[in-house]
């Protein structure tokens, strides 16, 4: 089963790309918190590089909506906006339910070839114990449902919003119970699609996403609270988080 990477526009591999990936991971792991301010010089000093590749990496992150630049006062991790993520989840539900409807109305008995490794992973293979790894396959599952329809624009829009919600969605796999539930729920959706039970498949998928969204919101609030109340330097790697401004 093929995993999806980030789907931003092509960028040259190199120092700026590595800085981009590290900063993005710092944001995903709450080492850089929503609202934190920092300068290009601070990042350059921490990573022992010049400001030029740091600036390029930050412009990529700004384009993707993770940071914003303030005239004369440096950069800031975008404040967390739950209303925005609610809208993204709503759009995701619309796209995936339409995809399931079309998959159930497919011509012929056979599943689209793109879904065969998905069925193998979620139904036939033993579950993986690592939640981080499962989170990547979870993304691939939902993207495959949309891509299997064969509408390139639907798939492109879905890939873009998948990238945008990854920062919070991956938190759903930090709890063992949610990992087990994901296996059961994905298998049930796939069985319903294979048997062309449109209403059941849509209901199962809608409930699956809704529960995940609610869990992610609770975990995100908890993680933000933990990160903001932790003693300075706690849980950080080699000064991964620059000193906040203001």
**Residue 77 β-bridge partners:** 67
Q: What is the mean pLDDT of each run of 10 residues along the chain (246 residues)?
A: 44 82 88 90 94 95 92 86 89 98 90 96 94 90 98 97 84 78 96 97 97 82 70 49 49
For 15-79, CATH number out of 1.10.10.10, 2.120.10.80, 3.90.700.10, 3.40.190.10 equals 1.10.10.10
Domain 82-225 is classified in which CATH homologous superfamily? GntR ligand-binding domain-like (1.20.120.530)
Distance CA 101, CA 87 (A): 21
Residue 137 · residue 3 · CB < 8 Å: yes
Residue 130 pLDDT: 87
The pLDDT of residue 231: 61
* pLDDT computed for residue 6 by the predictor: 46
Q: How far is CA 17 from the centre of its chain?
A: 19
Q: From its phi and psi, is residue 190 left (phi > 0), alpha (psi between -120 and 50) or beta?
A: alpha
Residue 215: predicted pLDDT: 80
pLDDT at site 228: 66
The beta-carbon contacts of 174-183 under 8 Å, at least 24 apart in sequence, are 174/131, 174/219, 175/131, 175/215, 175/219, 176/131, 178/131, 178/212, 178/215, 179/127, 179/131, 179/134, 180/127, 181/211, 182/134, 182/138, 182/208, 182/212, 183/122, 183/127
**For 209, how many CA atoms within 13 A lie in the half-sphere containing its CB?**
23
Res 4: pLDDT? 41
Rounded Cα gap, residues 246 and 244, in angstroms: 7
Q: Per-domain residue ranges for the chain?
A: 15-79, 82-225
**Paired strand residues for 37:** 76
Tell me which residue of 235, 145, 153, 133 sits closest to 190, measured CA to CA: 145
Q: Model-level pTM?
A: 0.75
């Amino acid at each position: 089963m093929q995993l999806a990477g980030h789907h931003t526009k092509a960028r040259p591999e190199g120092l700026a790309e590595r800085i981009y990936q590290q900063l993005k991971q710092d944001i995903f792991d709450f080492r850089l918190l929503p609202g934190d301010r920092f300068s290009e010089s601070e990042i350059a000093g921490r990573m022992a590089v010049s400001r030029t590749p740091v600036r390029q990496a930050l412009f990529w992150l700004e384009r993707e909506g993770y940071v914003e630049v303030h005239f004369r006062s440096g950069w800031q991790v975008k404040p967390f906006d739950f209303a925005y993520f609610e809208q993204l989840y709503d759009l995701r539900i619309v796209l995936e339910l339409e995809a399931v409807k079309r998959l159930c109305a497919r011509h012929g008995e056979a599943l689209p070839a793109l879904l065969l490794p998905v069925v193998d992973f979620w139904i036939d293979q033993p579950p993986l114990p690592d939640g981080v790894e499962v989170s990547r396959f979870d993304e691939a599952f939902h993207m495959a449902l949309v891509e299997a329809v064969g509408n390139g624009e639907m798939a492109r829009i879905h890939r873009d919003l998948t990238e945008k919600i990854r920062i919070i969605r991956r938190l759903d796999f930090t709890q063992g119970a949610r990992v087990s539930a994901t296996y059961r729920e994905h298998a049930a959706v796939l069985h319903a699609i294979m048997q062309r039970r449109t209403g059941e498949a849509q209901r199962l998928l809608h409930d699956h996403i809704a529960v995940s969204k609610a869990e992610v919101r609770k975990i995100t609030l908890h993680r933000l609270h933990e990160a903001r109340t932790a003693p300075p330097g706690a849980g950080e790697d080699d000064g991964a988080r620059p000193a906040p401004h203001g």
